Copies of this chain bind each other. A is one copy, B any other.
Amino acid sequence: MATGRTHRPATRSRGIPEATVARLPLYLRALTALSERSVPTVSSEELAAAAGVNSAKLRKDFSYLGSYGTRGVGYDVEYLVYQISRELGLTQDWPVVIVGIGNLGAALANYGGFASRGFRVAALIDADPGMAGKPVAGIPVQHTDDLEKIIQDNGVSIGVIATPAGAAQQVCDRLVAAGVTSILNFAPTVLTVPDGVDVRKVDLSIELQILAFHEQRKAGEETAAGDGAHPAAARDASSADQGPDGDVPAVMPA
């Protein structure tokens, strides 16, 4: 795509596999829950179940971080929480701006999962002058005109785009020009960014379409393989692959 560049010659050195990085937040979440229940240690088997992956994968993942477990015993919960947090860079404070305060932007502003992980919503930005000053989640919305100043004054390096698709690229360009180097994009568009800027996207309609694909297939097999209609029974409780895990995540370091 775009430039010919050998594509990712760097980022590989001395590194944790991208697939592993994508799972660390999952482990962290499970560990945090155990920590709150004051569980002191956990085995790879138990933790894997809580995180929804298999234990071999979990052990391999942890092996990239170092040897934090004790053979015959398991992992110390608190210690692991700390190590993973550090590895993910969550021991520091990350000021974040959210651009586009519609329904979704407001939902994100109100989302509790940020603060608890070191992310701080430094500002909310919207293009509608009518929104300016209105508080959302206790934070007054500011106008797009001040975007650059806001980014710089707050030392923001992570931006969240929750604007309509049409405005996304322009907002993205301004964020990047102002110094943002990581973008979480909720707008259904492919963003073009310079080297060195990471973009991750979240697109709900894509997830639904993937579900529809499998759903359709199920319906087909049902008629073909003559199986009863509604399951309802079959409590085999196999916590199936949860979403995009296996799916290679894909960020890109740039």
In the complex the two chains form, what is the Cα distance from A92 to B220 in whole Å?
13
A110 — which chain B residues lie within 8 A by C-beta? Answer: 102-103
In the complex the two chains form, what is the Cα distance from A29 to B165 in whole Å?
12
Q: In residues 214-254 of chain A, which contact B (Cβ within 8 Å)?
A: 214-218, 230-232, 234-254
In the complex the two chains form, what is the Cα distance from A254 to B218 in whole Å?
10
Q: Answer whether residue A164 sits at the interface, using C-beta atoms and an 8 A cutoff.
A: yes
A74 — which chain B residues lie within 8 A by C-beta? Answer: none
Q: Answer whether residue A190 sits at the interface, using C-beta atoms and an 8 A cutoff.
A: yes
In the complex, how many angstroms separate the beta carbon of A58 from the nearest chain B beta carbon? 11
A207 — which chain B residues lie within 8 A by C-beta? Answer: 184, 200, 202, 248-251
Q: Answer whether residue A139 sits at the interface, using C-beta atoms and an 8 A cutoff.
A: no
Copies assembled:
2
A252 — which chain B residues lie within 8 A by C-beta? Answer: 104, 186, 188, 203-205, 240-242
In the complex, how many angstroms separate the beta carbon of A14 from the nearest chain B beta carbon? 10
14 of the cross-chain contacts (CB-CB < 8 Å) are A2-B239, A18-B246, A19-B248, A21-B213, A22-B247, A24-B209, A92-B216, A181-B218, A185-B242, A192-B237, A202-B204, A202-B207, A241-B251, A248-B249
* A residues in contact (CB < 8 Å) with B: 1-3, 5, 7-8, 11, 18-19, 21-22, 24-26, 28-30, 48-54, 87-90, 92, 94, 96, 100, 102-108, 110-111, 113-114, 117-119, 157-158, 160, 162-165, 176-177, 179, 181-188, 190-218, 230-232, 234-254
